């Protein structure tokens, strides 16, 4: 019996055969590359908590997108950091907003690159919250209806600029229905909504807050984002957004919530499911690799495959460019 070799082990002996029988596939066209554009800078600004990542000036956005596209990345997601912030995030509604201008420049340079845009107010409000807040109640009190009107208007501005996909991320009740009605009313019924349908109030967003300059002036986001302990609530949130017209679903963060990704795919197999590998996940791998505690390239690939294996069809990841360069080097 000591010489017995089971069938699965025999199929692992040759590297080519291992690849041929691999159950989970990872390819560049499954990755979406987030980019951050800051209105007030003229040179790239490195972010300490996200090694290798930069806030980009508007003058660099087309070059960065073109470089990503040349590496085989098929989609980017844009976040804007305006100079002016106020309680209602009014800068997001300007025809020449930082994201609208970025969309135009990318589309002029790379017309076939899919441009996803974040629809939210956290980068634009002086409070740092994802919606308009009633600040004098002594608690986190979100004006839901006013926020919905602004999100719909923001989506229309970006649709007119040439954005391909809307990705509302604020977990504002009714955001999908409001954005869908706004887009349809302006003749953009063809534009899909890739909603953050299950976004948890996670501690993994810290580096993103530095990158997007969306730190809170008061309170937290626990009243409108999902409780980290509640998996079933995520399924209900998916169902609500589906009923409002969401075209694609998303779980965020990804690596901490693989069980939610799996449960979502099992419950809604007919929907394309995205997962967002967030800034904290990126930062931890980068920090551990810098200290020599793990192999960065192997960890990048394993983390992405884990998200795919759990059931995600598409992954928003800050590792998109790293992985693309790894593929090229093989």
Alpha carbon distances (Å) from 61 to 44, 57, 169, 229, 296: 10, 7, 22, 38, 26
CB 23 within 8 A of CB 12: no
Q: CA-CA distance, 212 to 199, in Å (whole number)?
A: 17
Cβ-based neighbours of 288, under 8 Å, separated by 6 or more: 294, 299
Q: How far apart are CA 110 and CA 22, in angstroms?
A: 33
Residues with active-site annotation: 199, 252
Mean pLDDT of all residues belonging to the chain: 93
**Superfamily (CATH H level) for 24-329:** Aldolase class I (3.20.20.70)
Q: Could you tell me which residues come within 8 angstroms of residue 103 by beta carbon, excluding any fewer than 6 positions away?
A: 78, 115, 117, 158, 161, 162, 163
What's the CA gap between 81 and 265, in Å, rounded?
Answer: 33
pLDDT in tens, 28-83: 999 999 999 999 999 999 999 999 999 999 999 999 999 999 999 999 999 999 99
Mean pLDDT throughout 178-189?
Answer: 98
pLDDT digits (tens, 9 = 90+) for 10-20: 777 777 777 77
Q: 35 vs 140, which has greater pLDDT?
A: 35
Is residue 145 pLDDT above 70, yes or no? yes
Q: Is the pLDDT at 137 greater than 70, yes or no?
A: no
The more confident residue out of 219 and 290 is: 290
What letter does residue 37 receive in the DSSP assignment? E
pLDDT at 255 over 90: yes
Peptide bond into 253 cis (omega under 30): yes
pLDDT 10s digits, 230-251 = 999 999 999 999 999 999 999 9
pTM of structure? 0.93
Structure tokens at 168: 């509302």
């Amino acid at each position: 019996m000591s010489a017995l070799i089971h069938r699965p082990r025999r199929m692992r002996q040759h590297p080519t055969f291992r690849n041929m029988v691999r159950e989970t596939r990872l390819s560049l066209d499954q990755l979406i590359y987030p980019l951050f554009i800051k209105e007030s800078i003229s040179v790239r600004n490195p972010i300490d908590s996200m090694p290798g990542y930069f806030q980009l000036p508007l003058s660099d956005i087309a070059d960065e997108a073109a470089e990503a596209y040349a590496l085989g990345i098929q989609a980017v997601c844009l976040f804007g950091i305006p100079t002016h912030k106020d309680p209602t995030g009014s800068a997001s509604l300007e025809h020449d907003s930082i994201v609208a201008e970025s969309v135009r420049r990318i589309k002029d340079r790379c017309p076939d690159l899919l441009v996803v845009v974040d629809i939210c107010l956290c980068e634009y409000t002086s409070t740092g919250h994802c919606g308009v807040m009633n600040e004098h109640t002594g608690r986190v009190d979100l004006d839901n209806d006013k926020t919905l009107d602004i999100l719909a208007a923001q989506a229309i501005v970006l649709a007119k600029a040439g954005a391909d996909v809307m990705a509302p991320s604020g977990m504002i009740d009714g955001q999908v229905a409001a954005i869908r009605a706004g887009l349809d009313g302006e003749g953009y019924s063809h534009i899909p909504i890739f909603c953050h349908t299950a976004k948890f109030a996670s501690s993994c967003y810290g580096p993103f807050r530095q990158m997007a300059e969306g730190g809170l002036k008061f309170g937290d986001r626990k009243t409108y984002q999902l409780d980290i302990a509640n998996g079933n609530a995520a399924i209900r949130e998916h169902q609500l957004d589906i009923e409002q017209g969401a075209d694609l679903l998303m779980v965020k963060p990804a690596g901490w919530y693989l069980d939610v990704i799996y449960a979502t795919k099992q419950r809604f197999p007919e929907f394309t499911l995205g997962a967002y590998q967030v800034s904290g996940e990126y930062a931890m791998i980068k920090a551990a690799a810098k200290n020599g505690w793990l192999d960065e390239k192997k960890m990048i690939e394993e983390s992405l495959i884990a998200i795919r294996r759990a059931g995600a069809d598409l992954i928003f990841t800050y590792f998109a460019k790293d992985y693309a360069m790894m593929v090229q080097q093989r």
